Structure 1
Amino acid sequence: MLPGNYTRVSEFVIVGFPGLHPSYFQLMGGFFFCIYVTTISGNFLLVGLFVLERSLQKPMYIIMLSLSLSDIGFSTVALPKAVTRYWWNDGGISLYMCLFQKHMIHYFGNLNSLIFMTMAMDRYLAICHPLRYPKWMNNRTMLILTVFSWVSAMITPGITTIQSAQLPYCGPNQIIHCYCDTNSLNKLSCADISSQSAVSFSLAMFVLLVPFSFIIFSYVNIVVVVLRMVSVQSRWKTFSTCSSQLVIICLYYIPRCGVYISNLIKFTVSQDFVIGLTMLYSLLPPLLNPFIYCLRTKEIKASLVKWACRRQSNTHPKPSFHPIAR
């Protein structure tokens, strides 16, 4: 086995979907570009609303702000290189940039998982313990939880990135994915990666299952409390409040669990299908988050209307009246 600091390959190539015909490259690049622009625009809109509107500076909206910033970061790390690969056939990426991209991809993935857990915790306290909610969940508490999420999400990607940086790469250099990730990169090593793969998989399952278990616990308790409500209107209102979050969480976790389970049981599926499923749970939630929360949250809709009216009044000021001198 080659020593860990021996590296022959200094550049990798992002392949993307290996089965995609070149005649569809421009279309795929346009698809990724549209997703990126829409995701960035929608999430920056939420960030701007939070900064400008004091009425939105509450614990629940602090979570949304954190989620929007994470989605902006993930999309910016993942999509521009995928666009250049398909529009200009430029899939080249240096080893160190690949390691950086891999690290940030997993970092924002971990961060989103922790944010969803915090979101579920907030809803659990608000619905199951409404009298204690103002005391337990205030802006200070939410800021502490947010900082903890952003810092602790760095731990497991740091471990796997250090491991990948110590591996020798001296053979094939094609990343069979739309971005660099741990599995795709480690497969190209010319060393024994059994221990690294075991550590990476264990950390991934820990980051996935611990928040997911708490989310399931929270929403099961929420459902039990809601079903005990006498008023049908209150029951419907509470379910409507949580449904948008539940949709995003399902889109994020269910496909991810499918990919991990297929890797665990060595279930044979096409590489294009696995990549497509990975891109689904990676890109769809950041794309849909701003639209779901803007359409389903009354305070955000009211802030949007207020902001639009303010912009319109600034753009078209009322004419001033000057009486005619006699």
Structure 2
Amino acid sequence: MVLNCTEIDDVLERYYLSPFYGIEFCIGFPGNLLVVLGYIFCLPEWQSCNIYLFSLAVSDLIFLCTLPRLSYLYANDQSETSSAACIINRYVLHVNLYSSILFMVWLSMDRFLLIKHPTRNHCLLRNRTALIVTGLSWVAVNVEVAPMISLMVHDLKSRNWSHCKDFGSLEGDISVLGYSLGLTLTGYILPLLGLCGFSYQIAHLLRVQERAVQRRNVSFKRPLKVVASAAVMFLVLYTPYHVLRNVRVASRQPWAGLQPCTRMYIEGLYIITRPLAFLHSVINPVFYFFMGDKFRELLLAKVRILVRKTERQREPA
């Protein structure tokens, strides 16, 4: 079957975005819900690291709740009919996108400081400081994403409030390209540099410690692997999305002078990168188990107790 170039977005949305979002929800929602409940019911004493991890899990969980509706609409070739749902969905999506990498930066900072100050005598390792940093992070991300509301309202109004478009297809009073580039810089590139910087600092600190004690300290190598893995994850998942989003926005400008089919091919590539960028919400629970202090042991112990209790209840009296 030969497809017209104008049908590329419809085909990708129905046969690619819909199943991909459905799979992400089915895998990511239980994992993040388990982490949230585990932190609430299994962790008697919280530390700064746990506060960042819990905020990250809550952000992912809220975002994942928006995916079933998106998957349903794409599968049935329908557009979002509620303008409020359209704005809330896109807003939550982008808040999660940029809060996730920001919280991972603070986690990396926390691991670096813990290696440097094992007795937790640094002010940034205190729970109160972690709560303040978390609150300021939520405010900063919402300020970054807030202009998108104006863009979405203007775009919906121009379309008679009948068609909900993604960020890369919006039109508004402010420069969409300028805003997209600014969001890429402040929301992605700078936090990614922070992740890479803390990875380097942790590696440098471990090398200094190894030379000082003349032996390899294996117990402190896990934070380095986790932080480096987080940096690689965001680099691999976020870079294609941000590059293609900015290219997509630029391709819609009058000065670009691109043919309609060329713009559609660019949009098709942009659509492919969208669920890949949101894949971090599915992968993040892995970091909770390896980064949280004693969280894994406490959660597994709680699960074993529940399993034994269930088995005893099923035994005949």
Letter in 2 for 1:121: M
Whether the 8 Å contact between 2:151 and 2:170 is mirrored in structure 1 is: no
Identity of aligned residues (%): 19
Whether the 8 Å contact between 2:32 and 2:61 is mirrored in structure 1 is: yes
Superposed, which structure 2 residues align to 1:133-212 within 5 Å?
133=121, 135-167=123-155, 168-170=157-159, 180-186=165-171, 195-212=175-192
Post-superposition offset of 1:132: 5.5
Letter in 1 for 2:26: V
Letter in 1 for 2:38: L
Post-superposition offset of 1:138: 1.5
Match of residue 322 from structure 1: none
Report the structure number with the largest CA radius of gyration: 1
Take 1:92 and 1:85, find their aligned partners in 2: how far apart are those partners? 7
Residue 312 (structure 1) aligned with residue 313 (structure 2): no
Whether the 8 Å contact between 2:29 and 2:61 is mirrored in structure 1 is: yes
Are the structure 2 counterparts of residues 233 and 295 from structure 1 closer, same or farther at C-alpha, using a change threshold of 3 Å?
Answer: same
Match of residue 43 from structure 1: 32
Take 2:233 and 2:63, find their aligned partners in 1: how far apart are those partners? 16
Superposed, which structure 2 residues align to 1:4-15 within 5 Å?
none
Post-superposition offset of 1:298: 7.2
Q: Show CA shifts across 1:184-211 (max 9, x none).
A: 232xx6xxx6724313422332222232
Match of residue 203 from structure 2: 223
Take 2:102 and 2:167, find their aligned partners in 1: how far apart are those partners? 20
Post-superposition offset of 1:174: 6.1
Post-superposition offset of 1:87: 3.9
Are the structure 2 counterparts of residues 200 and 296 from structure 1 closer, same or farther at C-alpha, using a change threshold of 3 Å?
Answer: closer
Letter in 1 for 2:86: C
Q: Secondary structure at the match of 2:209?
A: coil
Residue 109 (structure 1) aligned with residue 97 (structure 2): yes
Whether the 8 Å contact between 1:70 and 1:111 is mirrored in structure 2 is: yes
Aligned residues: 290
Question: TM-score normalised to the size of structure 1?
Answer: 0.75
| Structure 1 alignment gaps of length 5 or more | 1-14, 320-326
| Structure 2 alignment gaps of length 5 or more | 1-6, 252-261
Equivalent position to 2:298, from 297, 303, 317: 303
Match of residue 247 from structure 1: 229
Post-superposition offset of 1:303: 1.4
Match of residue 10 from structure 2: 18
Whether the 8 Å contact between 1:253 and 1:281 is mirrored in structure 2 is: no
Flag the structure with higher helix content. 2
Are the structure 2 counterparts of residues 92 and 136 from structure 1 closer, same or farther at C-alpha, using a change threshold of 3 Å?
Answer: closer
